[in-house]
Amino acid sequence: NAGVTQTPKFQVLKTGQSMTLQCAQDMNHEYMSWYRQDPGMGLRLIHYSVGAGITDQGEVPNGYNVSRSTTEDFPLRLLSAAPSQTSVYFCASSYRTEGSPLHFGNGTRLTVT
């Protein structure tokens, strides 16, 4: 099984550009989420989805959009990139049960200049 697949692995953007980070999972997980990881701050939740057609905001949603048209895919869109969005982004998925572990992709390292 591929698990959670994120693309691209690296990306450099100029301020104001937009892009989409892709995330796909093949485990039939209902729950998917996006985190950003910055030094000394752990992982912070951006947006999450409990199923196709349902999304909600996490702790740091500003500047990001998501949609969930299928169970498998959960893309993250940066509308107008800012240097503060330089980070490593992780997509994760899990079953919708108490204590279910998150399965993470290998991340996308984004630099905004």
Within 1-113, where are the H helices? Answer: none
Considering the complex, state which of residue 14 and residue 98 has its C-beta at the smaller distance from another protein.
Answer: 98
Interface residue with another protein, options 5, 11, 27, 45 (CB under 8 A) = 45
Q: Helix count (H) and strand count (E) of the chain?
A: 0, 11
Shortest Å distance, C-beta 71 to another protein: 14
Tell me: does residue 72 bind another protein (CB under 8 A). Answer: no
Tell me: does residue 59 bind another protein (CB under 8 A). Answer: yes
Q: Rounded to whole angstroms, how far apart are CA atoms 104 and 97?
A: 17
Considering the complex, state which of residue 17 and residue 86 has its C-beta at the smaller distance from another protein.
Answer: 86
85 CB-side CA count, 13 A: 27
Tell me: does residue 48 bind another protein (CB under 8 A). Answer: yes
| Paired sense of beta strands 108-112 and 31-37, if any | unpaired
Tell me: does residue 111 bind another protein (CB under 8 A). Answer: no
Identity at 84, one-letter amino acid code: S
Beta bridge partners of 94: 31
Interface residue with another protein, options 34, 105, 110, 112 (CB under 8 A) = 105
Q: Using CB under 8 A as the criterion, which residues of the chain lie in contact with another protein when the complex forms? A: 4, 31, 33, 35, 40-45, 48, 50, 58-59, 90, 92-102, 104-107
